[in-house]
Amino acid sequence: MTLNLARRFSGASRELRLFAVASLVVGMAYSIVDSTFNNFLNDRFALTGFQRSFLEFPRELPGFLVVFVSALLWFLCSRRLGGVSMLLGAVGAILIGFASPSYGWMALWLFIYSMGQHLFMPIASTIGMELAHEGKTGQRLGQLNAIRNLAAILGSFLVALGFRFLHFTYQHTFTLATLGFVITAALLFSMQRQRVRAPTAFLKLHKEYRLYYALAVLYGSRKQLFITFAPWVLVTIFKQPTQILATLMTIGGVIGILFQPLLGWLIDHFGERLVLASEAVLLVFVCFGYGFARSLLPEGTAFLVVCACFLLDQMLMSVSMARSTYMKKIALDPADIQPALTAGVTIDHVFSISIALLGGVIWNTYGFQYVFLLGTLIATINFFVAMQVRLPQQAAPAPAIAD
């Protein structure tokens, strides 16, 4: 199997090889930061609950602003813009690690780091689809996502190994992450520059893409349930320690290495509508499990059900690639794809932040079960919206790109 992978890699186009390596390196860099950031905050600043929750503002605000920043940088092709995003990540990471004498300064550096991270989100999909065979876009995105899953596991393992045996400090981990971002930037800048045309959709929502925007709204709403409230159920309702959540994330990452390419294959062979609708149906059961397993089942069984829901939920987050491939297929102009994906990031962040606030009020006022009843409602709406997905008549295939 290893020889087969090595053979396929060596036979791939130069651009694909560069981006595959870039995906691996940046995945490790992000994982290193994610694995240490919360402990860094606790050890360095001993934050109050309000200070920690306030950090979500500088962390998520770039997700809202990314469409405007991308519009200002429209003259950069996706690969050059990706390089710029990596440099922002590098600057933010090194300053967080070495120039955070106070909470305020750290929040400013976090904003810079997060801007780079959010700029790269739509670019990763755009470049991946540019490097795909005609009709195998989902498969290519699945392969690249699997590489990033593997990288996340390697990055978190490196952190665990470093702190346990190599006397790592936070400066070490932020330096390693910064090095990863700089290497990724170099790889992206070394990719072939593409011709850039002035986009028409950065600051304009086109009615032809309204269904894609609706899917972005629902994804943003659904995403926050997993990011914020699913871990909170395990921690506060089932009283589980940190290592349980870390273990579940690791297991989910290992599963994702196999699941991501399979999901891409399913998108290519059965279409976005079936995949998106199936995700919505499964989310109904996931939300019901989160909210009511504890009241319907014995404590031990309920915990296992919620763990299963968490893993399934983590896998279903990958279905976002189906939204990207759908956008590519309905684009009236190829120049619209990256701006529309970027607008989707902004839209989903508006609603993810709103759902986080609303969900917190519902949790405190009525109980955690009602947060997941809201999730069930979102999943149901998502099903009916997904069933409206229709694709235009496909043009004749373009010449294939070597894989």
Q: What is the pLDDT of residues 257-312, one digit of tens each?
A: 888 889 889 998 998 999 999 999 999 999 999 999 999 999 999 999 999 999 99
Element spanning 208, H or E: none
Label residue 12 exposed, middle or buried (CB < 10 Å: 0-12, 13-18, 19+).
Answer: middle
Length of the chain: 403
For residues 170 and 290, give the distance between their C-alpha atoms in angstroms, rounded to a whole number: 34
Per the rule left: phi > 0, alpha: psi between -120 and 50, beta: everything else, 331 is beta
Same fold, 10-191 and 207-391: yes
CATH topology for the 207-391 domain: Growth Hormone; Chain: A; (1.20.1250)
Tell me the average pLDDT across 182-199: 82
Label residue 147 exposed, middle or buried (CB < 10 Å: 0-12, 13-18, 19+).
Answer: buried
State how far the alpha carbon of 36 is from the alpha carbons of 86, 176, 227, 373, in Å: 19, 12, 17, 33
Q: Which amino acid is at 138?
A: G
Torsion of CA 95, 177, 216, 59, to 10 degrees: -20
pLDDT > 70: percent of the chain: 89
What pLDDT is recorded for position 398? Answer: 43
For every residue of 124-149, DSSP letters joined together read HHHHHHHTSPTT-HHHHHHHHHHHHH
Q: Over the range 365-381, which residues count as b (16 or more CB within 10 Å of their CB) and which as e? A: eeebbebbbbbbebbeb
Is the predicted pLDDT of residue 399 greater than 50, yes or no?
A: no
Q: What is the pLDDT of residues 35-82, one digit of tens each?
A: 788 778 777 887 665 566 567 678 878 877 887 887 787 777 788 888
What pLDDT is recorded for position 178? Answer: 96
Q: What is the pLDDT of residues 81-103, one digit of tens each?
A: 889 999 999 999 999 999 988 88
Asked which of 100-109, 176-185, 334-343 is least confident by mean pLDDT, the reply is 334-343
Is the predicted pLDDT of residue 328 greater than 80, yes or no?
A: yes
pTM (2 decimals)? 0.75
Per CATH, the number for 10-191 is: 1.20.1250.20
Q: Are 79 and 127 in contact (CB under 8 A)?
A: yes
Q: Are 196 and 77 in contact (CB under 8 A)?
A: yes
Is the predicted pLDDT of residue 238 greater than 60, yes or no?
A: yes
Domain boundaries, given as residue ranges, for the chain: 10-191, 207-391
Query: Of the candidates 280, 252, 233, which has an alpha carbon nearest to the alpha carbon of residue 387?
Result: 280
